Chains A and B, each alone.
Chain A
């Protein structure tokens, strides 16, 4: 039943979706790697970013791809300030507190969205929403291709920042050894806030790539964040390469799985992988042994 003619398009679909998953997971894994907390507000932040893109398009007529120049700095600032003045302060330096604060922020944001914008599922229509590009025997929707390229570029920029800039080195130092970093004069609180900001900036970019082919409602983040957690665990907590490959892999598994088993059962593959990784390689594909 599974002919090549439909397996190939499904594979491409999975890769393009997976790239966006990877971008979301990159933010999550960065925050985990540096702060050693799971950011429970990640899904809610993505939802807010999607609303941002939505309203920029609806009220100001800004194309979702153009709004990257607004959304990435805006989400970065939101992340930086949220860590500096809410999460970091309320956490009192304890990881488990910070965890709970992010959970609280998520609940507040979701209900705020519900209050402000109701439970409506909103979409935008662009001229290119239904444009397709032939790739071999497959017809791939243009927004998905753009999302793939955009996510890859954003991941590249992030890797470059981490490898070559002072900020990147400081972030990596804080991730490895907090006290040591403090001793050599790194402003650790600032670096933490920067990491949180960059993590959310990834979401700003992801939202711009996502919305032309997706929708937004107050609970839209939940579906993504569960998948992003799986990717982070799969790739190895805190590993960028792991998040990238994990994202693509999960995208393909989801797409091909749902082709085979149906839309609902297809999701099963993702969680089978999750369980298998936890059982046989708990440090993840690229994670160092703890």
Chain B
């Protein structure tokens, strides 16, 4: 009896002690850190892009914290809550549930369109503000989700820009190109982009010879390249992710298929320093309309230098779009002066942030889409990537048609 009572008393005491010990810790954590979800497909077929995305977000967090954190909240530091979508939308959504339970104030991610579609919706259930880093499918911002903000352009803007530039290029060269062939990956991004192009290009005077879809991953492009050979288009337009893009372009080279231009739309590789470095003979001449930094902004080159100094890392749009998206979020938290989700959402909605090095101008969100966001057109020339259109950002003239 006595010992039982003692034990109970001991339990009460220790529980109370533990509770008081935990309390200030919890409070201190709340005052000094702000949890931010960093959600990307770091394993699975998108692992390459997912890891670069994570790198960009983490570099931004380090920079923000080093510069004194969120000043409006007494220098509170951002703390990354990392998530891995494993290249699958349903796992991305499950990661959002976990992040919600860990009390994140906002989420940045989740690279691929199909994954973003799932994660923004899952985040909306808990009113977690979600800054979409890449996710080009326009459905992401067209569903009326109040929590979703996309800094970069969607595929409609990119496809429109690509088509305008293509017409411009072709006219300048006295119209050598009359037909195109589209090769795209099977998920939302590739299919959506291909549909947009295939429906619009005939109105602009281009015959669409074929639209070829392929799976992720595909390790043999021989058949597809044979079909390209048979159709013999003037221009080949690939819309796929890095691994498949690289393999496709290399197989074309291998099978001696040389169209007048390889014109990528969000191609993923022609604007990739990795591709240019590893397969320069296949890369030279490739045109790409894609996310790109303002080449006249010194801050972009400074960041590129830092990324290049890291082992096996490349300065790709995954890196700098996430870098920018995290800064955009930090700016919103700064102005919200709060870690509450609703306050941050409101601050994002009214954002006019311009301290970035993208060619977008100050942010202005309408239904979650940044209105100034636009892609640039690059070409691989002499083993380097140069911006060739529009003229305001161009570093050099485009070469078209390309003579292999």
Contacts and interface: CB of A to CB of B under 8 A. Distances in A.
B256 A118 contact: no
Contacts of A123: 219, 243
Given A10-B226, A121-B47, 19 more contacts: A3-B230, A5-B229, A10-B222, A13-B220, A13-B222, A119-B43, A119-B44, A121-B44, A123-B243, A130-B254, A132-B255, A139-B256, A141-B222, A213-B220, A259-B226, A262-B213, A263-B213, A263-B215, A264-B215
Most buried by B among A3, A6, A123: A6
Contacts, number: 70
Contact of A10 (B86, B223, B243, B256): B223
B156 interface: no
B141 to A, nearest CB: 28
Contact of B219 (A118, A120, A139, A214): A214
B68 interface: no
Size class of the B contact interface (CB-based, 8 Å): 20 to 34
Interface in A242-273: 255, 258-259, 262-264, 266
Interface string A186-225: 0000000000000000000000000001110100000000
B217 A263 contact: no
5 contacts: A10-B223, A119-B43, A121-B47, A139-B255, A264-B213
A58 to B, nearest CB: 14
Interface of B: 43-45, 47, 86-87, 186, 212-215, 217-220, 222-224, 226-227, 229-230, 243, 250, 254-256
Nearest to A7: B226
A134 to B, nearest CB: 10
A9 interface: yes
Contact of B217 (A121, A139, A255, A262): A121
Contacts of A213: 219-220
A6 B254 contact: no
Interface in A168-197: none
A258 B256 CA distance: 21
B219 A259 contact: no
A120 B47 contact: yes
A141 B217 contact: no
A119 B50 CA distance: 13
